[in-house]
Every structure is written in C-alpha cells, then in structure tokens.
Amino acid sequence: MSGANRWNLDGFVVSLTAAAPNTVSAYQRDVRLFAEWVSRHGVATPTQVTKAHVRSYVAFLTTSKLARRSIARKKAALSRYFGWLSRNRKIKVDPTLGVKTPSDKGRLPKVLTAEQLRALLEHHPDEHPHWRHLRDDAVVEMLYGSGLRVSELCSLDIDSIDTRRGVVRVMGKGNKERVVPVGKPATQAVRAWVPLRSEVLEVIDELALFLNHRGRRITPRDVRRLIDDRAMSPTHPHALRHTFATHLLDNGADLRAVQELLGHSDVATTQRYTHVSKERLKTAYGASHPRA
C-alpha cells in the first residue's frame, strides 16, 4: 500500500464538506507534508504518530522561521485530520490534543526610539492646565524611570514614594510588594506635582498619588489618554516599561536584577528583553559597520 493510501488523504478531503476550496487544498497539502516529514523519522502510518512527533514537527516549523500564522494553520490542518481519524475510530488517541503553537505573545517588546521617548517626556500640549503638565511629567517619568506597570502606577498612594531616599513601594501581581528605585528626574517631577495635587483633589481623604481631572485616583484609561496626547505616534503605556528594561540590559544590568525590578516571577519573562537588546545590537552593526 502506498504512503498516500496509508494516510487516506482522499477520504479526509471528502470529509471537508463545509470548507472552502482553498482551505481544502491547503489542509491536504499540510497533512501530506507532515506525512513526508514523519516518514523520515520512521513513521509510516497515522496510527504510529504520537504527541511527541507533532510537537517535534511544530518545533521544526518554528526553527525554520515560518510565520506564526502559517504554523498555526498547519497545526489546525493536523488537528482536523487526526480529529477525523479519531471520530472514525481509525486511531485511539488524537496526537494533536494539547500541542500548542507559538503565540503572538512571543513577539519582541516594542522599545521606544530616543525621539519618541523625548516627545513623551518633554511635550506639553498647549491646551492643558499647568497642574496637568506637572502630573503628566511625573507619570511618564515614573513609568520610564522605574518600569512600573500602569496598574501599579495607578495604585500608588502619597506615602508609597519616598522622594528623599529615591524609592517607591509597589504592590505588584499576586499582591507581592517590591521596592523599586526612583531616579532623580522622576523624584523631581513628583515633588513638582504634589503641591498642585490639592488643586484637583475632590475627596479630602483621597490617598492616591496621581489624580485625574475629576479629582479621583487616576485610571489606566487616563494614563493611556495622556500618553496619546504626548506621543508622536500611537504608543501603549507599557512601551515605557519595555524601554526601561531594555535600556538597563543595554547598559550592562544583571538579568536577575532587572527581573526583581520588574517584579517578574519567572526569569524567562525577563529574558525577552535580552533578545531585544541583541536585535538592537545587530541593527546598529548592520547600519554602522563598513564590513556589515
């Protein structure tokens, strides 16, 4: 029996009654390519395919630098195929169950350019009152200078920051508290903002460090709005945290120290920024070195 007959691709194609013609041909091609790949590893029939084979194939596609969307489509084709075999009792276990493909979460974090960062730190929209300029200065300086999450910044109280010692006490994910250094520009910006806080304070017992125009604790939406007002192009507030981490690593900071500053429970999350630093070095080399 030929390889194609062992895999019964014709029967699989017939089962795809609701799929568009392009999808049918793509699924057929994807399953055939998988069959050819596993045959090189001693697998002759679909009944011999294990979850380890599927995982190895996804890993192979990933290291081949195939687009994530293409990998996801190929995995979907295999899931459809082996699901069909399982429903027809041709195999006992579907080997694609539980096998994940690379997600878009694996994308490298966006790092702001010097020009983009300068705009956020220095641009003051003319229509805003003076208190708003000072508050927004302090917010941006804290996000970039201490690498805080937006939710962490919004939860800061007046007594969370010690401008004399240059530290801020942050309640991070999982209610884990950490103490993060605050640079001189950020402490100066907070000191300039705090005396004007009373101009917008609505409730006398409001403890929030940063207030919105209603005199209440600032919200993530307020932060996104102020970033939009200052940014040269659409920018997410989290980009300041990415830039904070990348700049530390670019300048020789220890990975574990950066992990602690960011409040990551797993160092693998922090390691994403080492990839960013390497990519930046490659870009600089390619643009600057005469032998690149």
* Lowest pLDDT segment from 20-24, 176-180, 279-283: 279-283
From the candidates 197, 230, 241, 242, which is the catalytic residue? 241
pLDDT per residue over 95-148, tens digit each?
999 888 876 555 556 889 889 999 999 888 888 899 999 999 999 999 999 999
From the candidates 75, 80, 132, 264, which is the catalytic residue? 264
pLDDT per residue over 61-93, tens digit each?
988 878 888 898 999 999 999 999 999 999 999
238 belongs to the catalytic site:
yes
149 belongs to the catalytic site:
yes
Per DSSP, the residues of 213-276 read TTSSB--HHHHHHHHHHH-SS---THHHHHHHHHHHHHTT--HHHHHHHHT-SSHHHHHHHHHH
pLDDT, the chain, mean:
88
From the candidates 29, 69, 118, 173, which is the catalytic residue? 173
Global pTM reads 0.61
From the candidates 191, 224, 238, 247, which is the catalytic residue? 238
21: CB partners within 8 A, 6+ apart: none
pLDDT at position 126 = 84
- Read off the tokens for 225: 């709005």
Tell me the domains of the chain and their CATH numbers: 3-106 (1.10.150.130), 114-288 (1.10.443.10)
Q: How far apart are CA 266 and CA 272, in angstroms?
A: 11
53 belongs to the catalytic site:
no
Residue 289: is its pLDDT beyond 50? no
Residue 2: is its pLDDT beyond 70? no
pLDDT at position 103 = 63
* Sheet containing 167-171, strands listed edge to edge, beginning at the edge strand earlier in sequence: 161-162, 167-171, 177-181
